[in-house]
Structure 1
């Protein structure tokens, strides 16, 4: 079985100029670089990863592309471009000259405007993404899902994956409105969902029973053919660790067939991100 970690990060604090993470998040307030992840991949039989941006800057994307070039296990990078910038199409085409760039991710969760993504002004950037064969990672909270639905309906040819299942409010146990909005997006065949980030939303002291209802919605709505597993390392360390999430996610998908588990744990990422 080919195993892909389709959501991990690298960063150097010295280059983040006060950006997230803050110092009080001691578990992740340090540099995280390729040599830190290699032992985890080896221990758990992970064949490759998708490296995802964590800061809204082209400089960060260039740093990730450089890291990917020096790290054979990084099969693809999801970067960042200001999709409403006047030169967004040019920036996208320029970055996409690097074959490791597989997608882009605006940090929608940090934007005050919930409808930012539902804007025709994005058309030149999205057309450039389509021309370059790039996908779209949606870093959203549940409140952003209606606007994301409108965006996805406008661009049916754009491959979209919802990061961390849209960060449902697992800690508070709320469920209904998130599930209804997620199911509407799942009805669109180009939309996928990542099984990742759940323990962080559940918080310290989480149990499998806390996660199960949310994972069940994701698997039922998208089916095993459109769910993509990721660790969200090192952010996962806020509430667990790599091994803990590996064990929990294995139990969450334990009811799937061997072929379905192979899809969730690697094949879907390879197809979605056009990984080599």
Structure 2
């Protein structure tokens, strides 16, 4: 059993994705039906939709689209990580509107394509604190040099459960492990941060092999421990380095020799606990 905690869906007939124009390989539709067919064959039994940085005016519309798909019979979709803008004064009202929506399990503000100081603003930080004591997680998608900014947020709001996306976005293509390795060890000391084993195939060159990924995946698991790691497909971004089946196969190869309990924690049990999934 696998719970996919990082699924993107792209439907250009329903939503606007301004950033897609700069990524031709992804500038097409990636629909639920396509994902579901392959996912079921791979043993994926539940998925969380991850926001896709739609036009800010359509953030709540994106959630409605996910709800429509989640409402279909026997849907894999069990929740959504919604887009948000903590740097804006309207965040508090937005948060209150989402509180009543059981589909929403957490939020993300993409940071790795934004100025480094975005998360240091007073409004941003005040709004992150507002998540404390609620049922929501907050996903951190940051570059290695920005992990220090993520650490500051984790320290600022110790009662907020943070999820560090994509093993901290290491530059695998360049073989760069420093300062990524040291920063990962440091952020892992924050008990309110969980790491997501996802995305790494998109950061490697086309000739990557399992051993190319191993130092980054294993270091992430080593420093966070088996109780604070979850798995995500990052579909369709993972297609930049193969496809969904390729990444699932690589994951199983990377986990060869691990115990059945360790595999269950990473692939399903931790996600079920963190997001209260049935």
TM-score, structure 2 normalization: 0.92
State the alpha-carbon separation in 2 of the partners of residues 25 and 59 from structure 1: 22
1:232 is displaced (CA, Å) by 0.4
Structure 1 window deviating more from structure 2 (63-72 vs 249-258): it is: 63-72
C-alpha RMSD of matched pairs (Å): 1.8
| 2:28 maps to 1:25 | no
| Distance of 1:147 and 1:127 partners within structure 2 | 15
Match of 2:255 in 1: 253
Deviation of the 1:137 alpha carbon: 0.3
Answering whether residue 79 of structure 2 is matched by residue 80 of structure 1, we say no
Would you say the 8 A contact 2:4–2:47 is kept in 1?
yes
- Correspondence 1:7-156 to 2 at 5 A: 7-14=6-13, 17=16, 19-22=18-21, 25-26=24-25, 28-55=26-53, 57=56, 59-71=58-70, 72-112=75-115, 114-156=116-158
Shift of 1:150: 1.1
The SS at the match of 1:50 is strand
**With CA pairs under 8 Å and 6+ residues apart, which has the higher RCO, 1 or 2?**
1
Q: Give 5+ residue unaligned stretches, structure 2.
A: none
The size of the alignment, in residue pairs, is 273
- Secondary structure, in 3 states, of the residue corresponding to 1:83? coil
Structure 1 pair 16–203 and aligned structure 2 pair: CA distance change class (3 A): farther
Taking the aligned partners of 1:135 and 1:247, their CA distance within structure 2 comes to 28
Native 8 Å contact 2:145 2:179 kept in 1 = no
Structure 1, gaps ≥5 residues long: none
Shift of 1:69: 4.1
Normalising by structure 1, report the TM-score.
Answer: 0.92
Separation in 1, partners of 2:137, 2:121: 18
Paired with 1:155 and 1:14, the residues of 2 have a C-alpha distance of: 38
Cα distance in 2, alignment partners of residues 24 and 119 from structure 1? 29
